[in-house]
Structure 1
């Protein structure tokens, strides 16, 4: 089974995403911010990461840049999650190493379409 780390400061987003991803047979873990996510990745690197843009302590972009510079940090597929379609933010995320992006709020069909290739 593939593993997924959901990184978002919203407990509601984490809960919804967890339910959908577990139904897709992912082993799911959660982090509330980029720092916690980085610590979890240092212990065990997930296959896929659902990453929020704006979080306290360490933003999604800071986490992404830090992770991609870490040994083995190039391996996880990362889907960046934004609250609005900002081409500049999307471009920065792609340049930093994000594989894909999607907008919040998302529904089951959208999340499944982004993660189906990783199953």
Structure 2
């Protein structure tokens, strides 16, 4: 079962995302800090990563994941409240694949993740 790691300081965001993504046959892991996300990824690199842009060290998580063996295979979503050009460029430079705008809802997450899932 593919793993998705949600790195966000907000308990509510992690809980909502976990509930939605668990329904897509994904093993959902949670992290409350950049350091914890990196440590978890060292032991088991996730197939997908959602990292909150407001979390201290968010771009560091992305660059660390990308530098790990197999890290280029992880699909990284940079979660933003406001999609300004500076934030988007920073995410792209760090290696993010896509952006999720917060607050997200069920339909947005399902659309993004179903598009990435191989056809059954």
Shorter-chain TM-score category? over 0.9
Q: Across the two proteins, how many residue pairs are aligned to each other?
A: 117
CA RMSD, Structure 1 to Structure 2 (Å): 1.1
Under a length normalisation based on structure 2, what TM-score does the superposition of the two structures give?
A: 0.92
Unaligned runs of 5+ in 2: none
CA distance in 2, matches of 1:106, 1:43: 29
Ranges of 4+ aligned residues in structure 1 off by more than 4 Å: none
Q: Are 1:67 and 2:53 matched, yes or no?
A: no
Q: Aligned residue for 1:18?
A: 18
CA distance in 2, matches of 1:92, 1:113: 24
Q: SS in structure 2 opposite 1:81?
A: strand
CA distance in 2, matches of 1:96, 1:116: 24
Unaligned runs of 5+ in 1: none
CA distance in 2, matches of 1:18, 1:100: 19
